[in-house]
Structure 1
Amino acid sequence: MSLPSRIRFVRLLAISVLLAAIALLGAPTIAAEPSLRMNTYVEDPAGVLDQGQRDRVRGAVDQLYADEQLRLWVVYVRGFDGMQPRDWARRTASISGFGQRDLLLAVATEDRAYWLEGEVPGEISDSELDDILIGHVEPALRDGRWADAGVATAAGLDAAMRGGGVNVGALLVIGLLVILVAGGLVWYARKRRRERFEAELAAARQLDPENATALSELPLEALQTRSRETLVEIDNAIRTSGEELELAIGEFGATATTPFRTALDNAKTAAAAAFAIRQRLDDAIPETADEQRSLLVELIGTVGRADRELDAQVTEFDAMRDLLLNASARLDALTRDVVDVTARIPGSETELSRLAATHPASVLAPIEDNVRMARERLTFAEQNVDAGRAALTEPVGEQGGAVAAIRSAEAAIGQARSLLDAVDNASSAIQQARDGLPGVLDELRRDLASATELADYGGPELADARTAARSALEQATATGDIDPLSAFHDAVTADADLDRAVAGATDRKLAAEDLRRRLDRALTDARARIGAAADYISTRRGGIDAEARTRLSEAQRNLDEAQQSSANDPVDALRRAQAAADLAGRALHAAQASVRAWEADRAPSGSAQTGAVLGGILLEGLLRGAASGARHSGGGWSPGSYGGSSGSRRIGRGGRF
C-alpha cells in the first residue's frame, strides 16, 4: 500500500471511531430494575399504571385469592437488569419469600418481555395456561394495555380453577369409552373379516379344483390358504398310498399292482409340478396379483387332477386287498412283526446313546426322538391287533372294524421300522462322511495349491473361492471328529465352488475329471440330506405343513435334474445338486419347526394315538375318499390307505411481546 493510501485509510478509521462514540454517547439507555422484594400485590416501578388501573389489577388479584386462595403478585419494571426474564422472576420470588400458592407476573415494559413464575395448581392444564398467556396476556402487553394484562392473568387463573379447567376424571371416563368403542369396532371388524375369510375358504373347499373360472373369482387370501391345504393333503395321500402300495406289491407282486403304481407315479409327477408352483410363489421374486391368481388356480387344479386319479383306483385297490380274507392270519403275522421290531429297540437305543456321546445334538436332531416314537407306533400297533381280533368275534357283516385295525397296525409297524432304520442309516451316513472326509480335505488342499498358482488368472471369482475354501478347510479340520456330516458337506460345497473358479482359469478338459468327482460327492450329499428330510416328514407328516414339503419337493426335483444332466452338463448338474442339498436342509428345518408348533398346540400326552396322528396313520379332519364318499371309522378318525387326499398367533412461562 502506498503512503497516500495509508494516510487516507487512517483518516477514515479515525472518523469512523469518532462517529461510533458520538452515537453511543447520544443513544438512550433502557432503565433496568434489579430483582426486588414484593411488598404489595401490585408493584409499578416502571410507572405505567395510574391509580384506577392499579385498583383494577389489585381487585382482580384479590378476587382470585377470595375464590381460590391463590396469591398472584404483579410487578411492572422497565427492564430486567440484563438478566433473563426467568432468572429475574425467580430471584424476585425468592427474595419475596413466596410459597407454593404464590405466583409472580413480571413485566418489563421497555425490554418487551414478561414471565409468569410459580407453581400453577393442578386444576389448570397446560393448554389452559397457554390460552391465558398467549390468547389474552401477550396481546394486551403488545398493545401497551398493562393493567389489562394483569387483570387477564388473574381472571384467567380464577376461571380455570373454578370450572373452566379440564375435569380429569371426566376425561378418563371419556377416554375409556373411546377406547372401548374403538376396541369394539376393531374387534368387530376383525371378526367380520375372519368370518368373511372363513366363508371364502369354505367356498374354495367346495369348488371343483378344475373349475378355473370359479376359482379365479375367489380372493387371493383364500386361494393362498387353499393352495397350501391341497399341497399338504396330496402329499399325505401320496405318502400313505405309497406305504399301502408297497405292502400290496409284497403280497400280490408288481404285475398285479401296475395300475396302482402308474396312478401313484402320475400323482407324484403332478404333485411335484404343484410344489414347483408353490416354490415360485414363495421365492424372493415377487409376482403381480394377476400372476399370483393364475399360478394358484393352476396349482389347485393340478393337485385336484392328481387327487382324482388316485381316488379312481380306490375301489379296485380295496378289492385286491380285502383284508377280511384271512384276517386272523394277518393279525398273527402283525403280532410277529411287532415282536421282531420291538426286539430291535435296545440295539437302537444303544446306538443312539453311542452317537449322542460322540456327536453334538445338532447332528442327531432329526433322529433324537426316533426310538421313543417307534415304541409309540408299536404300542399303537398292538392296540390295533387286539382291536382287530375283537372285531373278528363279531357276527359276519359287523367285522368291518378289523379292516381299519389291520391297516393301522400295518402302517404303525412300517413307521416303527423306518424310525429305527433312520437311526442305523444315521450311523452309516456319519461313518460314510467320516471315512470320506480325509479324501475331501486332501482334495481341497490340492485344489487350493492349484488355485494359488492360478491367482494371476482367476480374477475376483477365484480369489473369493480361495478365501471360502480356506475357511471351510479350517472349520472342517477343527470339527470333523464331532460333526463329520456338516464338515463333509461344507468341504464338498467349498471344493465345488473352488473347482468352478479353477475351471474358469484352466483348460476345461483337464478340469472335467475333477469336476466329476465333486459332482458325485455333491450328489451323495444331496441324496443323504433329502433322505433324512423325507424320513422325518414321512414319519411325522400329520404335523407338517406345506412349506417343508415344498422345499423337499424342490430338492428332489433339483436332484433328479442334476442326475439327468450329469453326463452332458456337469457344471449345471453340480449347481442343481448343491441346490438340492440346500433345499433339503431347509425342508428339514421347516419340518422340525412345524412339528414343534404342532406339539405346542396339544397337551403333552405321549399317547400312542397322538403319535399315530403325528405320523399320519390316523387322519384328523382329512378323511380319505371324500370325492367318492366318506369311508371312515367312528369318532372322526380314520387310518390312511391308498387313494387321494380326500381319503387319506414448578412451571414458568413467558417470553417477548
Structure 2
Amino acid sequence: MELFGGLISGILTAVFTVGVVVAGVLVGGVVLVSRRRHRPERALEDQRTRAGVALVRADDAIQTADRELGFALAQFGERDTAEFRAALDQAAEDRREIFRLHGMLTDDPAPGLRQQERADRIVMLAGRIEAALGEQEQAFRRRRTAESGARERHSRLSERITAVRARLRDDEAAHQRDAERYTARALGAAATAPALAAAQLDTADAALARVADALAAAVPPPVAAELDSADVAVATAERLLDDRAATVARLDDVAAALTGLAADARVQRTEALEATDIAPDANTAAGITRAVVDVDAAIADAAAADARDPLPTLTRLRGALDALEVSLAAARSQAQRLSHAREALDAALATARIQLAEAEAAGRGRGAAGARARLEDARRELALAEREASTDPVAALDAARRAITHARDADVLARY
C-alpha cells in the first residue's frame, strides 16, 4: 500500500514539474516572439536615422567644397583646380545616388535586407564624398598657407574689389528702379543685397589693409588667414549681386507670365461656359460653372492687385485655372487639353523656378534630410518639366506643379 501511494505521489510530482516547464517555455516563447516582432521596426528606424545623418553630412561637404573650389579657382586658375573639380563632379554623382536611395528607404515601409543594403550604401557614399573632398580641401589649404604668393594674391583681390565696386556703382540706378518696381517682400533677400555687398567689400578692404601693413614689415607675419577672409568677403559680395540679378529676372518672368495668364484666363472662362452645353451630366456642368466663378474672382484680383508683388496673384490665378482644368476634364477633348497645357506651362514653370530659388535660399547651409530630399525632388521635377515642355506639355505641366509643391514643402521644412 505504501509502495502504491509513493508511486502515485511520484507521478503527480512529475506531472506538476512538466507542467511548470511547459508553462515557462510558453511564456518565454511569447516574450521572445514579441521582442522579435518589434526588432525589425526598430532596426529600420535606426537605418533611416543613420542614412539621414549621412545624407546631411554629404550634402554639407559638397556645399563647403563648392565654395572652396570657387576660392581655389580664383586663386590658382582652371588648370591647377582640374582635379578638385573632377572630385566635386564625382561627389555630385554620388549625391544624386544618395538622394535616390534615401527616397527608396523612406518610401518603402517594410524592413528587410534591401533596406539595410540601401542604408549601408548611403553611409558608404557619404564617407567617400567626405574623404575625397576633404583631401582636396586640405591640399588647397596647404597651398594657401604658402606666403610666397601673398603679394600677388593681394593684388588680385584688390582688382576684384575694384571691379565689384564698379559693378555696384553701374547698377545703382537699376537697383533703384527694381526697388520701385517690386516690393521688399517680392524681392526677399535681394532687397538688401546691394547694401550687404557693399559691407562685404568694406570688410575685404579692411582685411587687405592689414595684409599690406603686414607685408611692409621687415619680417612679414603669416597673412593667409587675412587673405582668406578678404577672399570670402569678395566672393560673398559677388554672390549677393548675382543672386539679386537672378531674383529680379525671375520676377520679370513672373510679371510677364501673369499678364499672359490673365489674358488666357479670360478666353478659357468663356470657352468653359460654352463647354457646359456639352457636359456629360448636370454635376459636371455645375462644377464647371463654379470653377468659372473662381476664375473670374482671380482675374478681378489680378487687375486690382499690387503689380509690384506678382507671385501671390499668379499663384492664385494659376490655382483657379488648374481647378477649372479639372472640372473640364470630362468635357474637353485631348486636343483642347494639350492647347491649355501649352498656354499654362510658362506660368507654371516661372512659378516653379522662383519657388525653388526661395527654397534653396532658405535651406542654404541648413536644413535636415527631409528638407533637402524635398528640394532634390523639386529640382528633378522642374528638370523633367523643362525637358518635356516641347514634346509633352501635359506631362510637363504636371511635373511643374509637382515641383512647386516639393519646393514649398522644402521651404517650410528648412525654415521650421
Task: Give the TM-score taking structure 1 as reference length.
Answer: 0.47
Q: Which amino acid aligns with 1:561?
A: L
Query: CA–CA distance in 1 between the matches of 2:406 and 2:373?
Result: 9
Query: CA–CA distance in 2 between the matches of 1:373 and 1:223?
Result: 42
Cα 1:438–1:230, aligned 2, differ >3 Å: closer, same or farther?
Answer: same
Contact 2:375/2:410, CA 8 A, preserved across alignment: yes
Q: Which runs of 5+ in 1 are unaligned?
A: 1-215, 595-657
Query: CA–CA distance in 1 between the matches of 2:314 and 2:402?
Result: 16
SS at match of 2:190: coil
Cα 1:386–1:421, aligned 2, differ >3 Å: closer, same or farther?
Answer: same
Q: Is 1:338 the counterpart of 2:149 in the alignment?
A: no
Q: Is 1:329 the counterpart of 2:155 in the alignment?
A: no
Contact 2:355/2:407, CA 8 A, preserved across alignment: yes
The structure whose residues are more often helix, as a share, is: 2
2:61 to 189, 214, 237: 237
Counterpart of 1:269 in structure 2 is 93
Give 1:296 deviation, angstroms. Answer: 4.3
Contact 2:251/2:310, CA 8 A, preserved across alignment: yes
Give 1:445 deviation, angstroms. Answer: 1.4
Q: Is 1:565 the counterpart of 2:391 in the alignment?
A: no
Give 1:556 deviation, angstroms. Answer: 0.9
Contact 1:441/1:491, CA 8 A, preserved across alignment: yes
Query: CA–CA distance in 1 between the matches of 2:413 and 2:196?
Result: 20
Query: CA–CA distance in 2 between the matches of 1:560 and 1:528?
Result: 14
Q: How does 1:526-537 map to 2 (within 5 A)?
A: 526-535=352-361, 537=363
Q: Deviations over 1:253-274 (max 9, x none)?
A: 6666544333323322332343
Q: Which amino acid aligns with 1:367?
A: A
Between 1:440-449 and 1:565-574, the stretch displaced more is 565-574
Q: Deviations over 1:402-424 (max 9, x none)?
A: 1x443342232122222233334
Query: CA–CA distance in 1 between the matches of 2:363 and 2:410?
Result: 9
Contact 2:208/2:230, CA 8 A, preserved across alignment: yes
Contact 1:447/1:499, CA 8 A, preserved across alignment: no
Q: Deviations over 1:119-152 (max 9, x none)?
A: xxxxxxxxxxxxxxxxxxxxxxxxxxxxxxxxxx
Q: Is 1:491 the counterpart of 2:317 in the alignment?
A: yes
Q: Deviations over 1:353-382 (max 9, x none)?
A: 766666555424443554454355334434
Q: Is 1:434 the counterpart of 2:274 in the alignment?
A: no
Query: CA–CA distance in 1 between the matches of 2:44 and 2:198?
Result: 43
2:305 to 461, 469, 479: 479
Cα 1:315–1:360, aligned 2, differ >3 Å: closer, same or farther?
Answer: closer
* Alignment size in residue pairs: 371
Contact 2:272/2:288, CA 8 A, preserved across alignment: yes
Cα 1:472–1:323, aligned 2, differ >3 Å: closer, same or farther?
Answer: farther
The structure whose residues are more often strand, as a share, is: 1
Counterpart of 1:524 in structure 2 is 350
Give 1:528 deviation, angstroms. Answer: 2.9
Q: Which amino acid aligns with 1:560?
A: A
Q: Which amino acid aligns with 1:570?
A: P
Q: Which amino acid aligns with 1:475?
A: D
Task: Give the TM-score taking structure 2 as reference length.
Answer: 0.70
SS at match of 1:367: helix
Give 1:307 deviation, angstroms. Answer: 2.7
Counterpart of 1:581 in structure 2 is 404
Give 1:446 deviation, angstroms. Answer: 0.9
2:236 to 415, 431, 442: 415
Q: Which amino acid aligns with 1:525?
A: T
2:125 to 302, 310, 314: 302
Cα 1:463–1:487, aligned 2, differ >3 Å: closer, same or farther?
Answer: same
Relative contact order higher in (CA < 8 Å, ≥ 6 apart): 1
Cα 1:432–1:396, aligned 2, differ >3 Å: closer, same or farther?
Answer: same
Query: CA–CA distance in 2 between the matches of 1:320 and 1:465?
Result: 65
Contact 1:348/1:424, CA 8 A, preserved across alignment: no
**Structure possessing the higher radius of gyration over alpha carbons:** 1
Q: Which amino acid aligns with 1:428?
A: A
Cα 1:581–1:333, aligned 2, differ >3 Å: closer, same or farther?
Answer: same
Query: CA–CA distance in 1 between the matches of 2:379 and 2:215?
Result: 43
Contact 1:279/1:551, CA 8 A, preserved across alignment: no
Counterpart of 1:553 in structure 2 is 376
Query: CA–CA distance in 2 between the matches of 1:446 and 1:467?
Result: 14
Cα 1:304–1:564, aligned 2, differ >3 Å: closer, same or farther?
Answer: farther
Counterpart of 1:604 in structure 2 is none
Q: How does 1:365-380 map to 2 (within 5 A)?
A: 365-371=188-194, 373-380=196-203
SS at match of 2:248: helix
SS at match of 2:307: coil
Q: Is 1:457 the counterpart of 2:279 in the alignment?
A: yes
Q: How does 1:24-43 map to 2 (within 5 A)?
A: none
Q: Deviations over 1:607-629 (max 9, x none)?
A: xxxxxxxxxxxxxxxxxxxxxxx
Q: Deviations over 1:371-396 (max 9, x none)?
A: 45435533443454345556657899
Q: Which runs of 5+ in 2 are unaligned?
A: 1-39
Cα 1:546–1:348, aligned 2, differ >3 Å: closer, same or farther?
Answer: farther
Q: Which amino acid aligns with 2:96?
A: A
Contact 2:65/2:88, CA 8 A, preserved across alignment: yes
Give 1:448 deviation, angstroms. Answer: 1.7
Q: Which amino acid aligns with 2:334?
A: R
Cα 1:224–1:417, aligned 2, differ >3 Å: closer, same or farther?
Answer: same
Q: Which amino acid aligns with 1:306?
A: I
Give 1:501 deviation, angstroms. Answer: 5.7
Q: Deviations over 1:428-459 (max 9, x none)?
A: 33333223322210111111222222234373
Query: CA–CA distance in 1 between the matches of 2:243 and 2:86?
Result: 28
1:381 to 204, 227, 233: 204
Query: CA–CA distance in 1 between the matches of 2:213 and 2:65?
Result: 27
Q: Which amino acid aligns with 1:287?
A: P
Query: CA–CA distance in 2 between the matches of 1:470 and 1:220?
Result: 51
Contact 1:276/1:553, CA 8 A, preserved across alignment: no
Query: CA–CA distance in 1 between the matches of 2:118 and 2:323?
Result: 34
Contact 1:437/1:480, CA 8 A, preserved across alignment: no
